[in-house]
Structure 1
């Protein structure tokens, strides 16, 4: 990030908090020392004694006891007064560049599209950083838009998280801006190759693919040296993992093969399809039953990368009520997306009052299944499905952690999922996700201990992005406040 870009953010904030901003100003030739701070050691479910963390350039160079001259010497020192330090958060399911879903007429028929929007991407990027999200995985979108974002980020023209990108999801039909069709194995090889050529870090496979095409996609991704992740419904997750699938997204299995014969018959007799399946399937699935055990065993054996995105579904389940997601969206979503969700596009189109009641009734089942999966040795991460209905940038990752904590997932496990384990899943575990010498200085300073209450991840005192400290005043400016 160029100093001129950061100055444009910090200097106006200096009018409101001159001492704080000056103390946290970027050190061009020297170092930054974050002194008198507890490091949250989630691996051991504890916090360290007070430490001094020295940052030079964009990296952590030294960690000592608080006040040690070796850490402070020649550095711009910040006394954090016993606050708490965690790695920058990672949202593994953030559609950074996605614009509104639109319907247009083409040759006499309706065609859906979800074209990228650079203005929305910049808006999302700033708010992600403001809420402590310093890295994302964009699990499906336009690679040209992703490249434009990365170029502007590298040039210092905007402030935002590092992004690991998949191309358009590969499905059985085209949806401009979001999905590319592959109707046979040759198509799959061509599409995967083109995405890798365009810079894809991941290959995202989707619900409409047959088992044969899913396997072809996994194999093509691996031939090109890329992991394959999938959003699946009809294909049972254990079967897909046995094919070599690297990751799964969304805690919505929705496969008839994960129901007993009796459960399957009951579900299919009344199933309406579409998003009604978000609760209708769960009415028949038993999270303590044999098929749930099979799912847990598959996670334990294959250790997939997984993000539950509970927040995306819970936001739909409470859409008929006043709720925090609407408030978040009003404050932090881009106006184009907010208008789009208010006008028509939600995950609960057509739902009646009784549908919302049924959805909320199955929510404890979803929670129990989440807790079981997050207790496995799988590579569990966190994601939000940002830019889909009512999922505002940044704040939604904190709500995801809260939902999983309410499901019974331990706070230390959640912090690891949002940091170290996510970094390892991205193939960047050697440089991201830890507070340690040699790691990049993407950090959060918190006012309270998140191991005691995961909601303390929202109590952000400051964010370090690429080695530069952004104070509370600067973060508020990123939020537009």
Structure 2
């Protein structure tokens, strides 16, 4: 059962606001019939014949031929005129509640913090739904803020995706609002236990951990019945997967152990700290070389959950130019975050013109490695790193799909990564991520066939969120347009 149990109990003011967006008042029994629609079958790379999909009690109750009397009986019927139906999209890397990175003075020294913001969470939730995102994985943040979001969903005070939450990422240093410190295996056990008790669905481990602490974090998460996912740099991904790590985020391996001895020496002789490694490491890595083969083999053996978040890095690589990410942010990001990115916080702080040129020069290598990893049978999903610089809610997931399509990932595989694969990775594949009887009614109606062109995932005609139909007017309201 979906955890925000009362998501459809919208407050009266919001229900009134959405009334014009409904094609007609819903049926008294709450049934909805999406008639004359093609169900997209990404698993078999095809679309079905025109069908009628009946939604009742927040679930898909029947899929029949178009015009089927039993499907339409007593329901609010929406003739979709041959449009296309997919499961709701899942963003596996969306910092829903994250506020701006800020500096404060504490005992005479500067301390970085990233405190949660409930207004930003509500803003993000609305825009995610408007772009067809009905579920998310929150990869690190304040669990009290996550709890407030879920409580407001359950009370009908806002409309948004279901969230699966990690607590603050666990690292070797604390960052209030975003990172908790663990400096010994005993610390790690205590932090993991406290996060699970506070409601964490999974555990996020971070770049500063030693191999000993990474293993301790994996073991502690598993002892608490939670998967462990990590953002890693110094520790080579195959080594972490051999420890039992369940998932990896960001296509930035950045480990010296994934370079040949000659490549490693060349990189380390000139490497600068910070985000320069986003391109300097790639200048020495060969995505078709033996270390890349080792990485691909590890993905095939251990089948980790993975989201590449290409969009977050590409946005940094083109930050010196006019680009669509800035346009997206101006239209859809919360004003506090937009101001923050414009004023100082980006992933390209300190980069000079030649650094941007070097970054763009390695982008084909990043694309090539993405294509190789997404061709494995690992549990490949999609994420955006939403709320980090220039990553606006909702639209960025579509841009992530387009970047991966440009890298050569087939459209059907991208749709599976955004739906079925992600649902399975979240442990919810028995109730979301598919268009099938018995599954929860989180659905997206598209004007074009996304198997023909992944860009059609943007052509959203309607969203069904937990059984509630939202059409163009409501979706535009949620976008702020």
Query: Are residue 395 (structure 1) and residue 400 (structure 2) matched?
Result: no
Q: Tell me if structure 2 keeps the 8 A contact 1:9–1:477.
A: no
Q: Tell me if structure 1 keeps the 8 A contact 2:29–2:74.
A: no
Partner of 2:255: 255
Per-residue displacement from partner, 1:408-447 (whole Å, max 9, x unpaired)? 0000000000000000000000000000000000000000
- 1:450 is paired with a residue whose SS is coil
Partner of 1:21: 22
Query: Are residue 344 (structure 1) and residue 344 (structure 2) matched?
Result: yes
In structure 1, how many angstroms separate the alpha carbons of the residues matched to 2:212 and 2:261?
24
Partner of 2:150: 150
The alpha carbon displacement at 1:325 in A equals 0.3
Per-residue displacement from partner, 1:231-282 (whole Å, max 9, x unpaired)? 0000000000000000000000000000001000000010002000000000
Partner of 2:407: 407
Query: Are residue 322 (structure 1) and residue 327 (structure 2) matched?
Result: no
In structure 1, how many angstroms separate the alpha carbons of the residues matched to 2:23 and 2:103?
49
In structure 2, how many angstroms separate the alpha carbons of the residues matched to 1:395 and 1:9?
23
Per-residue displacement from partner, 1:374-429 (whole Å, max 9, x unpaired)? 00000000000000000000000000000000000000000000000000000000
In structure 1, how many angstroms separate the alpha carbons of the residues matched to 2:396 and 2:12?
28
In structure 1, how many angstroms separate the alpha carbons of the residues matched to 2:414 and 2:9?
36
Residues 286 and 3 of structure 1, relative CA distance in 2, 3 Å threshold = closer
Per-residue displacement from partner, 1:23-56 (whole Å, max 9, x unpaired)? 3x44452410000000000000000000000000
- 1:248 is paired with a residue whose SS is strand
Partner of 1:472: 472
Partner of 1:213: 213
Structure 1 residues 364-379: aligned runs within 5 Å? 364-379=364-379
The alpha carbon displacement at 1:302 in A equals 0.1
Q: Tell me if structure 2 keeps the 8 A contact 1:172–1:182.
A: yes
Partner of 1:418: 418
The alpha carbon displacement at 1:22 in A equals 3.7
Partner of 2:179: 179
In structure 2, how many angstroms separate the alpha carbons of the residues matched to 1:98 and 1:27?
38
Partner of 2:58: 58
Per-residue displacement from partner, 1:51-80 (whole Å, max 9, x unpaired)? 000000210000000001111111111100
- 1:99 is paired with a residue whose SS is coil
In structure 2, how many angstroms separate the alpha carbons of the residues matched to 1:291 and 1:365?
14
Partner of 2:124: 124
Q: Tell me if structure 1 keeps the 8 A contact 2:341–2:389.
A: yes
In structure 1, how many angstroms separate the alpha carbons of the residues matched to 2:12 and 2:89?
24
In structure 2, how many angstroms separate the alpha carbons of the residues matched to 1:27 and 1:236?
56
Moved more, 5-14 or 69-78: 5-14
Partner of 1:36: 36
Question: TM-score by structure 1 length?
Answer: 0.97
Structure 1 residues 85-96: aligned runs within 5 Å? 85-96=85-96
Query: Are residue 70 (structure 1) and residue 70 (structure 2) matched?
Result: yes
In structure 1, how many angstroms separate the alpha carbons of the residues matched to 2:11 and 2:301?
46
Q: Tell me if structure 2 keeps the 8 A contact 1:10–1:474.
A: no
Q: Tell me if structure 2 keeps the 8 A contact 1:30–1:74.
A: no
In structure 2, how many angstroms separate the alpha carbons of the residues matched to 1:471 and 1:397?
20
Structure 1 counterpart of 2:10, from 5, 14, 25: 5
- 1:437 is paired with a residue whose SS is coil
Q: Tell me if structure 2 keeps the 8 A contact 1:9–1:474.
A: no
Partner of 1:159: 159
Per-residue displacement from partner, 1:201-227 (whole Å, max 9, x unpaired)? 000000000000000000000000000
Moved more, 2-11 or 164-173: 2-11
| RMSD of Structure 2 on Structure 1 (CA) | 1.1
The alpha carbon displacement at 1:98 in A equals 0.2
Residues 217 and 2 of structure 1, relative CA distance in 2, 3 Å threshold = closer
Question: TM-score by structure 2 length?
Answer: 0.97
In structure 1, how many angstroms separate the alpha carbons of the residues matched to 2:368 and 2:380?
15
In structure 2, how many angstroms separate the alpha carbons of the residues matched to 1:254 and 1:3?
44
Partner of 2:3: none
The alpha carbon displacement at 1:12 in A equals 4.1
Unaligned runs of 5+ in 1: none
In structure 2, how many angstroms separate the alpha carbons of the residues matched to 1:391 and 1:22?
32
Q: Tell me if structure 1 keeps the 8 A contact 2:29–2:75.
A: no
In structure 2, how many angstroms separate the alpha carbons of the residues matched to 1:113 and 1:105?
11
Residues 198 and 12 of structure 1, relative CA distance in 2, 3 Å threshold = closer
Q: Tell me if structure 1 keeps the 8 A contact 2:56–2:467.
A: yes
The alpha carbon displacement at 1:480 in A equals 1.2
